[in-house]
Structure formats: C-alpha cells, structure tokens
C-alpha cells in the first residue's frame, strides 16, 4: 500500500504543480497517471508546440514546460504510479481514501486531488477479436521499455508520428520491423516520413500499405497476424503487435465515484478551494467545472495552489498555516536540499 498526504490523479501540468505547492506546506504527494510519462496533454498531444500564455515565459515548448515542472518538484520527491489508471475509490471510517488502479496498485491518502484533465487517455484499440487476450502477451499500445523488443519480430500499425517514430527507433533494436498502415500517405513530421522511406530502401523496415491487420493468432501468446492488402490476406509471423492509433480521453471510472458531474467535468466549489461534493476530494485543472471556468494551464496552477491550503487543514487538523513568500522562506526539499535567496550582509561602509 502506497501512503501519502495528497494522492494526485493525473500528472498533467496541474497535478505536477500541485506537488510543488503541497511541498511548500510540507505535504507529500504521490501521482497516478494512465500514461507512461508525466505531462498530460502537453507531452502526449503537443510536446513540440510553443505555448505563449504561461506567465513569465514569452514562449515555451510544451515539452520544456513539463521538464521544468518536473525539475521544480524534484526536491519534493513525489512518488509516481505511471501507466496505470485510477479505477476505484473506497472511503474509510476516518474519512481517508484508498484508490486502486486497474493493475491493482493500492494508494492510501487523507486527501485526493483529481487533476485528470480531459480524462484518462485510453489507447484506441483496433476492433480485432481476442485482442484483449493478447494484451501483455505480445500486444501493447504503449512502448514503455524498447529493450523488450530486442531481437524480436515487431509489427507496428498506424500512420501518425508515434507509428513512424517507433518504427524508426525499433529498426535498430528489433530483428524485424513491419509497419502497416491503411493508407499510402502518412500524417507525420516530414523528416520522419523520409527516414522511414530510407530505412525501407535499406531493408530495415518492411512497409505494408494500404493494408490492415485483420486477425491475431497464437496459443498462449501472439505468434502471427493476418494482414489484408488490396483484398488479399497474408499470414505474418510476429512476436509483438503494437497498434498506435492515438489516444481517446475518457473521464472513465472516476465518473462512478459519486462525484457531481456536469458535461463530463466534475463540479467544484470555486468560491473556496475546488473541493467536490465529497469532502476530502478536490478536482483541479481541466477536469473541473464552475461558473466562468477556463481550461487553461495557468488556471490549473491557481486552482492547485488554493486546493493545497485546504488539504493542509485536512492533513493537520487545527494547525494554522501562515503563508510565506518563497523569496522569504526559501524552499526546503524533502531530500534535504535548500534553496534560498542570498542573505543580506551587515557590513559597515567606510
């Protein structure tokens, strides 16, 4: 059982910044995210796009903003459960919560901050019979550890950046890479398309277009696939099948936690602290709704900051917290590090 002060669901910019604000109040955080990496929409949808409305940054690449946020919270040593979706919640007699993921990891905390954005990003699965059976037995929708594919026969399906980039990367790792796409044209960065073209010519990637995978075969694990190309079906032996058809956001299991939901978002009290109708559960960032709500990164940062003040009261009942500027208090990391402005020196001037 993972224990923490604030359990944050969602490692987007809102969830990450909440770790920093909580750290200033000496509250420990643990974050769950369905994706294998932190950053939410910024990492998953637009890492290379510049953002122009982050205060103090005339422009910053979304991926760089995530790196900066990760850097900023490092000394507060947050825990991460990545690649797992928060599935169920249980309220204990003392008002604290146990959240369990789809992989069975249990987390216990007195405060839950849902920073789930548009919802958990779920992979778009191809409609193939028995695909669920082959998951973790050769079929995967994310590549967490490329070494798994070393010297293996891999089939990737998809026509976007992920399919192109991973085909290029695995061409040097796997024994065989086959890229299958239902069109001849790919929708990705030009240099990636050109690189795949070049690797195809070198015989390092087998390109099969326009084609679709129509069936999966294997007794205990994936052993082969059927590929339909121009109405003709071929049989291809393979150890791994990685369909990369993008991700679809879903509020998902959180919708069944007894929270007040309006238009696929969680209703919160914006007059105070972004608490939901369940005491101890807050919703911050894109996932919440209230009159005048704007789905912007800076709004998520603000909501995370106010949420932490109330979380402090729940974790430390009866204790008063006096807000201090970081320029005055400095930042004391949980790792023993300390950041502070240089102290004034008392020295006579002759």
Which of positions 117-156 make contact with ligand FAD (CB under 6 A)? 117-121
Comparing every residue's Cβ against ligand FAD, the nearest one is 117
273 phi and psi angles, rounded to 5 deg? -145, 15
Instruction: Pick the binder of ligand FAD from 6, 10, 27, 243 (CB under 6 A).
Output: 10
12 phi and psi angles, rounded to 5 deg? -75, -175
295 lines the binding site for ligand FAD (CB under 6 A): yes
Instruction: Pick the binder of ligand FAD from 296, 313, 316, 333 (CB under 6 A).
Output: 296
Which region among 210-218, 230-238, 248-256, 314-322 touches ligand FAD (by CB under 6 A)?
A: 248-256
88 phi and psi angles, rounded to 5 deg? -130, 155
Instruction: Pick the binder of ligand FAD from 4, 6, 7, 14 (CB under 6 A).
Output: 14
**Closest separation in Å from C-beta 58 to ligand FAD:** 13
Which region among 4-12, 189-197, 256-264, 307-315 touches ligand FAD (by CB under 6 A)?
A: 4-12
Please say which residue, 3 or 295, places its beta carbon nearer to ligand FAD: 295
281 lines the binding site for ligand FAD (CB under 6 A): no
21 lines the binding site for ligand FAD (CB under 6 A): no
Instruction: Pick the binder of ligand FAD from 4, 6, 7, 12 (CB under 6 A).
Output: 12
Cβ 133 vs Cβ 56: under 8 Å: no
**Closest separation in Å from C-beta 86 to ligand FAD:** 4
| Number of other CB atoms surrounding residue 151 within 10 Å | 9
Which region among 22-30, 44-52, 272-280, 332-340 touches ligand FAD (by CB under 6 A)?
A: 44-52
Alpha-carbon span 81 to 32, nearest angstrom = 5
**Closest separation in Å from C-beta 134 to ligand FAD:** 23
Chain centroid to CA 28: 19
Instruction: Pick the binder of ligand FAD from 65, 89, 139, 254 (CB under 6 A).
Output: 254
Sort 7 into a burial class: Cβ within 10 Å, 0-12 / 13-18 / 19+: buried
16 phi and psi angles, rounded to 5 deg? -65, -45
Chain centroid to CA 195: 28
Please say which residue, 296 or 331, places its beta carbon nearer to ligand FAD: 296
* Contact mark string toward ligand FAD, 202..241, x via CB under 6 A: ----------------------------------------
Please give the full DSSP string across 181-199, using - where no structure is assigned.
-SSSS--S-HHHHHHHHHH
| Number of other CB atoms surrounding residue 213 within 10 Å | 22
* Contact mark string toward ligand FAD, 72..101, x via CB under 6 A: -------------xx---------------
Sort 262 into a burial class: Cβ within 10 Å, 0-12 / 13-18 / 19+: exposed
Which region among 12-20, 90-98, 129-137, 321-329 touches ligand FAD (by CB under 6 A)?
A: 12-20
The partner residues of 106 in beta bridges, in order of sequence, read 100
Alpha-carbon span 41 to 34, nearest angstrom = 12
Return the closest-CA partner of residue 247 out of 127, 157, 121.
121
252 lines the binding site for ligand FAD (CB under 6 A): yes
Cβ 281 vs Cβ 310: under 8 Å: no
Instruction: Pick the binder of ligand FAD from 35, 66, 207, 224 (CB under 6 A).
Output: 35
Relative orientation angle of helices 13-24 and 297-315, to the nearest 10 degrees: 40
**Closest separation in Å from C-beta 308 to ligand FAD:** 15
Please state whether 136 falls in left (phi above 0), alpha (psi between -120 and 50) or beta.
left
Please say which residue, 14 or 275, places its beta carbon nearer to ligand FAD: 14
Interface residue list for ligand FAD (CB under 6 A): 9-15, 32-35, 40-42, 45-46, 51, 53, 85-86, 115-121, 252-254, 285-286, 295-298, 300
């Amino acid at each position: 059982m993972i224990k923490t002060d604030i359990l944050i669901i969602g490692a987007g910019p809102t969830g990450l910044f909440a770790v920093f604000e909580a750290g200033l109040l000496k509250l420990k955080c643990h974050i769950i995210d369905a994706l294998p990496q932190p950053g939410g929409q910024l990492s998953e949808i637009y890492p290379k796009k510049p953002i122009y409305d982050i205060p103090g940054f005339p422009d910053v690449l979304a991926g760089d903003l995530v790196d900066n946020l990760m850097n900023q919270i490092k000394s507060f040593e947050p825990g991460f459960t990545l690649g797992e979706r928060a599935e169920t919640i249980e309220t204990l007699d003392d008002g604290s919560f146990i959240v369990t993921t789809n992989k069975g990891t249990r987390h216990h905390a007195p405060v839950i901050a849902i920073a789930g954005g548009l919802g958990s990003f779920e992979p778009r699965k191809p409609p193939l019979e028995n695909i669920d059976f082959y998951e973790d037995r050769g079929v995967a929708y994310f590549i967490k550890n490329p070494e798994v594919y070393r010297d293996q026969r891999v089939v990737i399906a998809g026509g976007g950046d992920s399919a192109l980039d991973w085909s290029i990367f695995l061409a040097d790792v796997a024994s065989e890479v086959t890229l299958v796409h239902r069109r001849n044209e790919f929708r990705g960065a030009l240099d990636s398309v050109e690189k795949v073209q070049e690797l195809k010519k070198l015989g390092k990637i087998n390109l099969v277009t326009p084609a679709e995978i129509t069936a999966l075969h294997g007794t205990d694990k994936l052993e082969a696939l059927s590929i339909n190309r121009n109405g003709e079906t071929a049989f291809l032996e393979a150890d791994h099948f990685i369909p990369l058809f993008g991700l679809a956001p879903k509020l998902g299991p959180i919708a069944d936690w007894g929270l007040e939901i309006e238009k696929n978002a969680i209703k919160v009290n914006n007059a105070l602290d972004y608490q939901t109708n369940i005491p101890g559960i807050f919703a911050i960032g894109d996932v919440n709704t209230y009159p005048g709500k704007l789905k912007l990164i800076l709004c998520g940062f603000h909501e995370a900051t106010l949420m932490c003040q109330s979380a402090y009261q729940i974790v430390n009942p009866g204790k008063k917290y006096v807000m201090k500027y970081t320029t005055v208090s400095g930042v004391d990391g949980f790792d023993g590090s300390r950041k502070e402005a240089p102290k004034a020196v008392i020295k006579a001037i002759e």
